[in-house]
């Protein structure tokens, strides 16, 4: 048993034994077992910080490594019930390295690669007699071992992309590193499995990649690994029951990551909330938001305007294909938005090719990042939103219209005001603070169509639900009648209480808003 070669199971043992919360993700092993030796044996998984990447690697090491006996350790988990559990348990030479640790102990990438090879080779020479004492090349030693006795290895590489974050502007160092990994892993008969994790997908150079043999599982497309990306809804529900925490609030704070159709929660934040008994921003405290602020302020290709639209609740179409998978090559706003997806600040729907802010935790950090003169009008709208909500609940049509007019005028350069979709975006921004006490939905289906905006009270909020219909160059009365005629209230079939109908119209000629209200009693909903 070594530190890098066939290590023990200490790290995974500590996680499952001493952590107050451990969610069983051992069925990931069933997936990697199917990849052993085959054409899909090279796997690269990229996820945001604190999304369980290192835990997964420690688990795989504990399962595959010859340096330990993990039968009892895994016996209580799901993987122990699969037919291949015993077949692969502790049967392999494993090389497990953390690139970030090697990088932090050296001055440059060349020195890091030299140091890494020396450390791994030292343990290999102690284990295998067939390696020449003077050998300095890890690749040569592995090739010789395979030639002598067909020894195969599983490579588990953590923080594989740290070079691209630390040496973000050093193209020569990045290429040297990628060439090393290519020579180490590509087409080598001694590779039984290669499992790499990091934040970024594999770096692109033009249309080609030095590591194009890898199957990539990124936040833009996790494919078959979606359920292992974070906590699933079922897993979070079980934790909420165990710790007597509100599932609704947990969902509002930490859900929202759409990973190939699977609803994923931030595991670090959920765990912290359960243990502390307090809903707060936990994961975001581990990140640097100055970079985020810098990207937004630059407003390249309308980036700032797109961020504002997302703060207002919109889903923005983005092209993820042009991103070069590094921290400095940004040709378009889409490249920066794609980076934010990989960092966990945005979530992405592979089918619709849209991105949005996933939850309350991240939304708050976006607000923290836009303090300053460049965003004064947006901040003004958000700060006024509490008052607007109260005026709406009071059915003060004149004052509500005036405040909507102010938000429209202040932000017309950001949100091109030319149709009902733009009007919906302005209203979402104007009612921003309502998200604290309401679940807010755009284009919610109900009755004979889709309601423009629907506000459903959260638990503990005793104010009425609201259905808002928007019109362009018509009348607020027409908007109100449409809510009733098309029976939009049916979208609230699971809600029982008062509902406020809100009709809003914008007249392009006069540049004025008008509003009308109507309150519906409970009996109308339950019928």
Q: Tell me, what CATH number does 110's domain have? A: 3.40.50
Burial pattern 355-375, b for ≥16 Cβ within 10 A else e, equals: bbbbbbbbbebbeebbeeeeb
Same domain (yes/no): 418, 389? yes
- Residue ending a domain, among 336, 371, 406, is 371
- Ranges of the chain with pLDDT below 50: 207-208, 524-527
Same domain (yes/no): 244, 139? no
pLDDT digits (tens, 9 = 90+) for 214-255: 999 999 999 999 999 999 999 999 999 999 999 999 999 999
Residue 527 pLDDT: 41
Closest CA to 357 of 446, 453, 437, 255: 255
Q: Are 437 and 250 in contact (CB under 8 A)?
A: no
- Residue ending a domain, among 311, 338, 371, is 371
Same domain (yes/no): 388, 337? no
Asked whether residue 440 is domain-assigned, the answer is yes
- Residue ending a domain, among 333, 355, 371, is 371
Same domain (yes/no): 358, 425? no
Same domain (yes/no): 298, 257? yes
Residue 287 pLDDT: 52
Same domain (yes/no): 165, 253? no
Closest CA to 72 of 12, 2, 21, 157: 12
Asked whether residue 4 is domain-assigned, the answer is no
Same domain (yes/no): 385, 425? yes
361 strand-pairing partners: none
Q: Tell me, what CATH number does 403's domain have? A: 3.40.1350
Asked whether residue 5 is domain-assigned, the answer is no
Residues in Cβ contact with 504 at an 8 Å cutoff, skipping those fewer than 6 apart? 404, 423, 427, 468, 469, 470, 471, 476, 479, 513, 514, 515
Same domain (yes/no): 288, 169? no
Residue 417 pLDDT: 55
Same domain (yes/no): 180, 34? yes
507 strand-pairing partners: 512
How far apart are the two ends of the chain, measured CA to CA in Å? 69
Closest CA to 319 of 356, 354, 358: 354
- Sign of the alpha-carbon dihedral angle for 245, 249, 251, 254: negative
The two structure tokens encoding residue 185: 């892993």
Residue 491 pLDDT: 87
Residue 96 pLDDT: 98
Q: C-alpha distances in angstroms, 341 versus 28, 33, 257, 272, 449? A: 23, 29, 10, 22, 32
Asked whether residue 422 is domain-assigned, the answer is yes
pLDDT digits (tens, 9 = 90+) for 246-265: 999 999 999 989 898 899 99
What's the number of domains the chain is made of? Answer: 3
Distance from C-alpha of 505 to C-alpha of 290, rounded to nearest angstrom: 39
Asked whether residue 404 is domain-assigned, the answer is yes
Residue 525 pLDDT: 44
Same domain (yes/no): 54, 175? yes
Asked whether residue 3 is domain-assigned, the answer is no
Burial degree of 187 (CB within 10 A; 0-12, 13-18, 19+): exposed
Residue 375 pLDDT: 73
Closest CA to 88 of 124, 36, 40, 53: 36
Same domain (yes/no): 108, 257? no
Same domain (yes/no): 84, 161? yes
Residue 495 pLDDT: 84
Residue 23 pLDDT: 96
Residue 411 pLDDT: 67
Which domain, by its residues, includes 182? 10-217
Asked whether residue 208 is domain-assigned, the answer is yes
Asked whether residue 72 is domain-assigned, the answer is yes
Residue 313 pLDDT: 85
SS3 349: strand
């Amino acid at each position: 048993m070594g530190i890098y070669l066939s290590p023990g199971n200490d790290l995974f043992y500590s996680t499952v034994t001493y952590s107050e919360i451990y969610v069983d993700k051992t069925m990931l092993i069933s997936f990697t077992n199917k990849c052993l030796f085959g054409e899909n044996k090279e796997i690269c998984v990229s996820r945001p910080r604190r999304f369980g990447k290192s835990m997964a690697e420690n688990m795989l090491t504990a399962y595959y490594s010859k340096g330990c006996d993990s039968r009892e350790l895994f016996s209580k988990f799901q993987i122990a019930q699969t037919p291949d559990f015993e077949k692969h348990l502790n049967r392999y030479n494993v090389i497990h390295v953390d690139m970030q640790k090697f990088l932090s102990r050296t001055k440059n990438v060349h020195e890091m690669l030299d140091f890494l090879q020396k450390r791994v080779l030292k343990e290999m020479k102690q284990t295998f007699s067939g390696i020449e004492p003077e050998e300095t090349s890890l690749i040569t030693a592995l090739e010789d071992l395979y030639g002598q006795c067909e020894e195969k290895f599983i490579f588990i590489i953590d923080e594989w992309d740290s070079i691209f974050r630390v040496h973000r502007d050093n193209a020569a160092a990045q290429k040297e590193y990628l060439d090393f990994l290519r020579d180490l892993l590509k087409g080598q008969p001694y590779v039984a499995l290669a499992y790499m994790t990091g934040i970024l997908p594999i770096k692109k150079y033009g249309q080609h990649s030095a590591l194009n043999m890898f199957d990539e599982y990124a936040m833009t497309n996790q494919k078959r690994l979606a359920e292992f990306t974070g906590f699933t809804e079922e897993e979070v529900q079980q934790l909420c029951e165990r710790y007597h925490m509100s599932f609704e609030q947990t969902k509002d704070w930490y859900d929202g990551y759409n990973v190939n159709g699977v609803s994923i929660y931030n595991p670090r934040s959920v765990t912290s909330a359960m243990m502390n008994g307090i809903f707060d921003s936990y994961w975001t405290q581990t990140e640097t938001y100055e970079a985020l602020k810098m990207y937004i302020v630059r407003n390249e290709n309308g980036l700032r305007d797109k961020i504002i639209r997302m703060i207002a609740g919109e889903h923005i179409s983005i092209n993820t294909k042009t991103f070069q998978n590094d921290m400095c090559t940004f040709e378009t706003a889409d490249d920066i938005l794609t980076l934010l997806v990989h960092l966990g600040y945005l979530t992405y729907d592979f089918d619709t090719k849209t991105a949005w802010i996933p939850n309350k935790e991240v939304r708050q950090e976006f607000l923290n990042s836009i303090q300053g003169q460049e965003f004064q009008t947006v901040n003004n709208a958000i700060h006024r939103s509490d008052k607007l909500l109260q005026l709406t609940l009071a059915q003060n049509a004149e004052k509500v219209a005036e405040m909507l007019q102010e938000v429209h005028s202040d932000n017309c350069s950001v949100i091109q005001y030319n149709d009902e979709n733009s009007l919906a975006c302005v209203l979402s921004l104007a009612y921003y603070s309502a998200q604290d006490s309401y679940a807010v939905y755009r284009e919610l289906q109900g009755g004979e169509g889709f309601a423009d905006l629907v506000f459903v009270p959260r638990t503990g909020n005793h104010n009425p639900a609201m259905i808002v219909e928007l019109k362009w160059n018509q009348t607020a009365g027409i908007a109100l009648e449409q809510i009733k005629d098309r029976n939009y209230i049916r979208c609230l079939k699971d809600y029982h209480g008062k509902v406020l109908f809100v009709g809003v119209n914008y007249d392009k000629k006069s540049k004025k808003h008008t509003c009308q209200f109507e309150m519906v009693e409970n009996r109308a909903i339950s019928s």
